[in-house]
Structure 1
């Protein structure tokens, strides 16, 4: 019988490769690593890890849904709300989202990024 899956992994322990650091570092020297599992024109799914630090983020023309596997900190959204970085937490970043990541312990997430126009208010 032919298998219908091409990857089988434990996202919490999968070996990742070095990737670019966050573009807008505010404090510290965070470094990143990742494994891109799916990458098509409109969709990217993968595992991403970042070491402690503070950085700003913008989701221009894309949205993202993340599930945190481990780590600790918080995400401060531009509307003043705060999301925890903690194992099992799920956060959605709508297209056009802006905010700040405060990473207190090395953090790993499973992510899905999708192309989308900026949501109008």
Structure 2
């Protein structure tokens, strides 16, 4: 059975690039446009990893991660944060909410897939 990755980004092109790479690598993909949309989609199925943008309308990535981690089913789900900001503050903030990896946009799909394969257990 393939593993499922949720991609959360308000940019359709970012979601598309990530989804194409993930599907080509054999992962199932669920897309969400912001944290609120993602929370609505969380309870429908098992998600093995979440890739979330930091800055989004309606609900940002940090708030989303905090909310998702309150749900028992997603307490230990690995999270990759996408950010436009290379600053140390962002890095520390992402680690504080439990993100395992942060990737600066624009990202290389191969780099993202390498992080995904390390974080998703076989």
Q: Structure 1 length normalisation: TM-score?
A: 0.29
Question: Greater relative contact order: 1 or 2 (C-alpha under 8 angstroms, separation 6 or more)?
Answer: 1
Give the number of the structure whose alpha-carbon radius of gyration is greater.
Answer: 1
Decide which structure has greater strand share: 1
Decide which structure has greater helix share: 2
